[in-house]
A and B are shown apart, each in its own frame.
Chain A
Amino acid sequence: MKFHRIAGLLLKHYYTTTNKADRLFDMFYWPAIDLFVWGFASMYISKISNYNLLSMLLGGIILWIFVWRGSQDIAVYMLEDFWSKNLYHLFSSPVRLSELLFSVILFAFFRSIVSGIAMAVLAYLMYSFNLLSIPIAVAGISVFLLSLFGWIMGLFVAGLILRYGQRIQVLGWSTVWVVQPFSCVFYPLSALPLWAKSIAVWLPTTYVFENMRAALAGSAVDYSAYFLSFLVSLVLLGVMLLFVYSSFRHSKKTGLLARGD
């Protein structure tokens, strides 16, 4: 990997973001809408049930941004090059797939940090929810593990796009939401029915949100669950990288890379 090529690709992602309102919009608009809806809903539930849901839900919403952005940005920035037929120029230049993936991941992480901070500020202003009430180590590990899982999901979709092209572009926005119900973002693992629980236990995200709730409730955090989550993520990351590279080779065989359709 060469620094000047990664810098060139980061510049391209930056220009794409600043030139296209959609890319700025999805950093702030949807997370803010989530924050409004769930914030007001939990305030209402708190009123009628004396059960304080607010911090659990807002913490979940803000941390979920890291999975969401990681996954969607990798897919969408890959699709941007399909839409503008730029893959032809990128891959006839010295750019390597690893450089493109690295740059997209780095840029997605930067976007998720900006989006996460903006939502944390908004949550503080609107609901006096302080994200820093989560211990810094727990917050840091959560951001890392959730981002990692977002990249895994993003790589999975990127692999599918490289293999099947734009006809499956809808997966770029939708795939990450398939795992959300099983990730226990807003409710504990124990709340899930058995069949759903059997899926949830395999997801690295489940343990991150379980620990977030424990931290917010002042209970003990299970650090071994983080370790398990990290190990599962590493295995998944390896599998997804193999998948993306295999899809890339496939697209070079079928001509999809040159046609960009």
Chain B
Amino acid sequence: MNSIEVRSLSKSFGDVKAVDSVSFSVKKGEFFGLLGPNGAGKTTTINMLTGLLEKDSGEISILGKNPNEDWEYVKNRMNVSTAYFPISDVLTVRQALNVYSRIFGVKDYKRKISELLVKFELSHLQDRRIILLSSGERTRVAIAKGLLNDPEVLFLDECTVGLDPDIADKTRTLMREYQKEKGAAIFFTSHYMFEVEMLCGRIGFMINGRLLNVDTSANLKRIIRKTTVEMVVKEGRAKLLRDFLLEEDVDVLFMEDNRVAFEVASSGDRLYRLMNKIFAQGFKLSDLHIKRPTLEDLFIKLARRK
């Protein structure tokens, strides 16, 4: 059974189509990432899934239930954390966690809160008002709140924004451990490509309200068909190398001093065969840099294509 199932989900604000007939599913125990530039519709999608925003059309199923009909069942088994809304900033960290543990009906909530405070290194801040915390500390409080009820479905909206690298790394580890331990489905949005690639089994790309591609990171990167190669050759040989590459019908990006950069198809053995030919021509390299396509390349490509 899929933990989240979305079919033809749409939402408009006036003339602006924020989410345009989006369909996807997230399996039980899957870490699913949603990528896209600002205004792509990621947060609007999360807001509809969490019941904060009414959809115009489409179907949502969470844990096999229609959230509108089995609202209480669904909401007790899901939670959301975001870097943008730091819970109630009037309350202290412990007070906020106290309030939400009652709201979620958490049994043995004192133990649970203490555990989360230790896990997210918040114990020394527990009696400080949330408004006085740094943005990274507030984000950790929001994530701790997100785990209070051991949700089967967890929405993490840009939740590592503002965290320092050490805490961000610990947070990612905790999220992964949580997903494995509880078999929870985690719906994750982020601007940091490396963490999406690191955490998510499948990734969806959203641009202008439309979900363009949903696949594994490896498959998505194949959309960018070119690998960039930069070679440094001996003095006076760069022009010869460029001419040779042009004869071989290779896209040369630039030639500068002893440096030549070109693009070749990522798929198949084209790069391997070309390198053999270059060496057979007697070109001696003093440096070589091969840049495989990354999610960031894909993100930029898709974002600019909009």
- The interface of chain A, by Cβ under 8 A from chain B, is 2, 4-5, 7-9, 11-12, 15-16, 19-20, 80-81, 84-86, 88-95, 249, 252-255, 257-258, 260
Contact = CB atoms under 8 A, between A and B. Distances in A.
B140 interface: no
Q: Which of A89, A249, A252 has the most CB of B within 10 A?
A: A89
A258 B99 CA distance: 20
Nearest to B50: A92
Interface in B27-50: 43-44, 47, 50
Given A19-B129, A89-B145, A92-B52, A12 B85 contact: no
Contact of B88 (A81, A91, A94, A253): A81
B90 A5 contact: no
A89 B87 contact: yes
A5 B47 contact: no
Given A91-B52, A94-B76, A258-B52, A16 B88 contact: yes
10 contacts: A5-B105, A19-B92, A86-B85, A86-B87, A89-B80, A89-B88, A91-B52, A92-B50, A93-B103, A252-B52
Contact of A84 (B44, B71, B90): B90
B17 interface: no
B80 to A, nearest CB: 5
Contacts of A81: 88
B148 to A, nearest CB: 10
Given A2-B105, A19-B92, A257-B53, A12 B99 contact: yes
A7 B91 contact: no
Contact of B47 (A85, A86, A258): A258
A16 B98 CA distance: 13
Interface in B208-265: none
B52 A257 contact: yes
B72 interface: yes
Interface residues of B, number: 37
Contacts of B145: 89
Secondary structure at the B interface, as helix, strand, loop or mixed, is mixed
A89 B82 CA distance: 9
Given A86-B87, A92-B155, A252-B54, 19 more contacts: A5-B105, A8-B100, A9-B99, A12-B99, A15-B95, A16-B91, A19-B90, A80-B88, A81-B88, A84-B87, A85-B86, A92-B75, A93-B79, A94-B76, A94-B103, A94-B104, A254-B13, A255-B44, A258-B52
Nearest to B13: A255
Contacts of B79: 92-93
Given A8-B100, A85-B85, A16 B90 contact: yes
Contacts of A254: 13
B102 interface: yes
B156 to A, nearest CB: 12
Interface in B64-115: 71-72, 75-76, 79-80, 82, 84-92, 95, 98-105
A80 B89 CA distance: 10
Contacts of A90: 103
A91 B47 CA distance: 10
A94 B72 contact: yes
Nearest to A12: B99
A95 B92 CA distance: 21
Q: Which of A12, A85, A91, A260 has the most CB of B within 10 A?
A: A12
B58 interface: no
A85 B85 CA distance: 6
A7 B145 CA distance: 17
B44 to A, nearest CB: 8
B16 to A, nearest CB: 11
A91 to B, nearest CB: 6
B51 interface: yes
A85 B86 CA distance: 7
A95 B103 CA distance: 7
Interface string B50-63: 11111000000000
A92 B76 CA distance: 10
Contact of A93 (B13, B54, B75, B82): B75
A256 B80 CA distance: 18
A88 B85 contact: yes
A43 B266 CA distance: 93
B52 A88 contact: yes
Nearest to A99: B103
B105 A12 contact: no
Contacts of A91: 51-52
